[in-house]
Structure formats: structure tokens, C-alpha cells
Amino acid sequence: MNWYLIWIITFILFITAIGVYYAKKIKTADDYTMANFSLGFFPICGSIIATSLGSAAVIGSSGKGFEIGFGWFLTKFPVALFSILLAVLLGSTIRKLKLYTLPDLFVRRFGKASGIIPSLIISILYMTPTFGMQIVGMGAILTTIIDISMINAMIIGFVISVVFTLMGGLPSVAWTDAIQSVLILVGLIVMFLMGLHYVGGMDVVIQNTPSQYFDLFSMGSTELINYLIIFGPFYLVWQTTWQRIAAAKTEKIAKRGVSIGFIITFFVALFSIGIGVIARQSIPLDTDPDLVYTAFLTEVFPPAVGGFFMVSLFAAVLTGATSFLLSGALNISKDIYQGWINPNADSQKVLNVSRLSVGGMAIGGLLVALLINDVIEIYSFALALSAITMVMPVLAAMFWKRATKTGVISSVIGSLIIAVIWNIMGEPFGWHMIIPGIISSFIILLIVSLLTKHSTDENVDAYYFSVKDVKESESIQDVI
């Protein structure tokens, strides 16, 4: 009896039932993409945990623990720090402005033209290859439990992700994320403890593992700084967090849900990294890092029990896939279709485009997964470009009234060009392209804004200050 397959099928049937339930409740685009701004603490916090603990966090962190040890844990700190800063510092402003997406902020503050590049970067360059990463992860999991090819396994993962996302939108994604977050957390912690017992306990691990694997500062300073800067600023503009903040029922729920979600994710990273360190005692040291988690899982647990923990891994990957599809579809439907193509589109048309966008992005992600070998490299590239082009303009919209439309567009295009050139040059001094990219974004925005005047389609404001004393129940349009 294939217990792994039984557990996976049971899980798929369960989340499908949730998708069908919420599909009947979806009437408008706001219902589909923002859960009609009504999510409580559990779905907000759980969705943050589940989305953050995707394939990169579970499979990737275990592999990094296997490769370099607990030094990888430090790279998790800026993720939690910047995400909590976003929720606490800007959460109220995001909610009062009722921002659907990041480009929505660009358009509202700097005019329509300023939002098109961020929309394309998020939906196509970031979300699509990120979804492709999840497809590869699901394919790898399915090939370990079913005797099928990797291509067929990825296609199955693709179908599951698309059908589930198309049915229920954010309400079903958020609630299944919340349930899956419990499954993921239990799976990681129990596997860590059982794996430790399987290899003979902590004393055996410490005795047989080189000391540098327990050194938090085992990475070189340049490499560590690169990782800290790559992972830090990006999470100020991670649209998944913005979407969850806006979709929460109240400001209090938004701030607490996001903050607690990232704090839990931060500390849980110790378990996923620890699994990789423990696995060094049991599996061959030449094992591909991306296969460490599943290889160790199948060795530690009998199939009847291991199937449950394999489901926790599958859940981690699936929840990332659905969230990335939904966030990217929001950019296409709201920022590109409603913002540029059909400004007068009614809610039903926007809803239809949202669903079509899910399908289109999913096909693009599948092609990335099937045709491109180094998906992780593409993901890192897209993540860096997102931070480079959006962090400084977002901060300017929130805090600097003098920023101009010309300054922002020049900053976005100029920093993008400089970052790509830096990358082509082989990253001099060992600095990742995000460092010169963000620095040049700041300098260009500052200088060009000071040299130019505000455009007629700008809303000249610093939103953080202007809406600070506005109550959520009031109409922002009456204030700004």
C-alpha cells in the first residue's frame, strides 16, 4: 500500500472541498482577490506562515543546513525585521489607502505611467518564475511517491495549483494556508525531534559535525552582507504581505497577524536548518541539497507515518504556488487591465480577468519550470530587481512630499539599467547587484526630483503623514 499517495490524495480532496465551498461565495473581484477585506487573525497569521514556509524555506533551508549549517539562520533575520516594520509602521497607511497592490500606490501618488513597470516586474518577472519554482518542488515531491516522470509530476502539480486558485480566490487560499501552516509547523518540529532521535541524539550530532556548522557567522562577511541586503529591503515591497494587510478585517488584526506570523516563521527556520544538519549523520554527504529533506524523511519514518509529513511538505509548496498566482493576477487585473486597458471595467469583468490571469501566469510558470534549468537563479534575479525598482519610490510616496513623477520614473528605469549592467560585469567587489541598484535608485530619485516639478496628474502628498489621523471608517478620498 502506497501510504504516501493515500495521504497526498486525502489532502488534495480536503483542500478541493474548501475551494468548492468558497467558490460559491465569490461574487465580485474584491471577494476573489481581497476576501472582501474581511479576514480574521487566524487566516492572516496562518497565511503569512504558510506562504513564507514555501519550498525555498523548507526544502531550501534544509539543504543550506546540510551545506553550511546554522550560519544560514542569520539570513532569516532581515526577512522578519523588515516585514514586521512594514506591518507596524506602514500597515495603517496601507489599510487607510485601501491599496490593492504596490503599483496601485505608484499610480495614486505619481500618476498612471509610474505604475506600469512595477506591475510588469511583479506579475511577470517575479511571480511567474516564483510559481515555476513551486511547480518544480511539487514535481520533486510527487516523483518520490509515485513512479512517474518529473515532467508528468510537474504537470500534475500545475493542475492542482491552478484549479484550486481559480475556484476560491483569496478566501480559500487564506483559510487553507492557515490550516496548512499548522500542518507545516507540526511536520517540521516533529521531523526535527524524530530525526534527532533516529541518529542517536544531540550528543552524536555535535560529536560528528564540524564545529563551523554551529557557527552563526560561518559565512564570509561579503556573502552574509549580500544575503542580508537581498532578503531585507525586498520584504518592504513583498506584495503578498501588502495584500494580507489590506485584506484583514481590522488594523489590529493586520498588524498582529503579520508580525506574529513572521516571528513564528523566523524561529521555525531553526528546525528546517537543523534537519539539514542532523541529516548529515544519516544520508550520503554528496546528496543534492534540494533532496536532503525528502531523503531524510523517507529514511526516518515508515511510510504510514512519513506520508503525513510528506503532506506537510507538499502543503508548504502548494500554498506558495497559490499565493504567488493570486498576487500576480491582482497586478494584471487591477493595475494593467483596469488601470490601462479598461478603466471603466465593472467588477465582473475584473473578476474574469483575474481568473484568466491566474491561468496565463500559471502556464508561463510551467514553461519556466520545464524549459529553464536554473530556476533559483532567475528567482533571485527577479527578487533583486523588485527591491531595486520599488523600495525607494514606495518610501518616497509614504514619507517625502517633494518626490516627483519624473524622479520616480527616472529612478525605476535608471536603477534597473545600472543593476543589470553591474550583473553583466560579474558583480565587482563581490557585491550583489541589489547594492548598487538600491543606492542608485535613491540618488537618482533624490536628484531628479529636486531638479523637476510635480506633474499635473500627481497627488502631491506624503501619505504616512497625511492619513495618520484619519480613521479607517472615513473616506480617504475626502482627505487627500
pLDDT in tens, 384-404: 888 898 899 999 999 999 999
Q: What is the mean pLDDT of residues 380-384?
A: 78
Q: Is the pLDDT of residue 230 over 90?
A: no
By mean pLDDT, which of 32-46, 98-112, 394-408, 459-473 is the weakest? Answer: 32-46
Output the pTM of the full model.
0.80
Neighbours of 222 (CB within 10 A): 12
Q: What is the pLDDT of residue 130?
A: 79
Q: What is the pLDDT of residue 381?
A: 77
Length of the chain (residues):
480
pLDDT in tens, 183-218: 778 888 888 999 999 999 999 999 999 999 999 888
Residue 474 — pLDDT band, cuts 50, 70, 90? low
Q: What is the pLDDT of residue 242?
A: 87
Q: What is the pLDDT of residue 336?
A: 80
Q: What is the mean pLDDT of residues 227-256?
A: 85
Q: What is the pLDDT of residue 449?
A: 96
Q: Is the pLDDT of residue 56 over 70?
A: no
Residue 255 — pLDDT band, cuts 50, 70, 90? very high
Query: What are the cell numbers at 365?
Result: 510558470
Per-chain mean pLDDT for the chain: 83
Name, of 288-292, 378-382, 467-471, the range with top average pLDDT: 288-292
Interatomic CA distance for residues 387 and 233, integer angstroms: 6
Q: What is the mean pLDDT of residues 90-119?
A: 85
Q: Is the pLDDT of residue 476 over 60?
A: no
Task: Specify whether the CB–CB gap between 322 and 173 falls below 8 A.
Answer: yes
Q: Is the pLDDT of residue 475 over 50?
A: no
Interatomic CA distance for residues 19 and 448, integer angstroms: 48
Q: What is the pLDDT of residue 477?
A: 47
Neighbours of 446 (CB within 10 A): 17
Task: Specify whether the CB–CB gap between 332 and 142 falls below 8 A.
Answer: no
The residue among 264, 269, 241 whose CA lies nearest residue 85 is: 241
Q: What is the pLDDT of residue 148?
A: 85
Residue 422 — pLDDT band, cuts 50, 70, 90? very high
pLDDT in tens, 150-193: 889 889 888 888 887 776 555 556 666 677 777 778 888 888 99
The residue among 319, 216, 258, 256 whose CA lies nearest residue 80 is: 258
Q: What is the pLDDT of residue 464?
A: 92
Where is pLDDT greater, at 128 or 70?
70
Q: What is the pLDDT of residue 176?
A: 66
Angle, helices 127-145 vs 150-199, to 10°: value is 70
Domains and CATH numbers, the chain: 3-387 (1.20.1730.10)
CA 236 → CA 90, 102, 239, 330, distances in Å?
A: 9, 10, 9, 18
Residue 49 — pLDDT band, cuts 50, 70, 90? confident
Q: Is the pLDDT of residue 143 over 70?
A: yes
Which backbone phi and psi does 351 adopt, to 5 degrees?
-60, -45
Amino acid at 16: T
Q: Is the pLDDT of residue 421 over 70?
A: yes
Query: What are the cell numbers at 151?
Result: 515532467
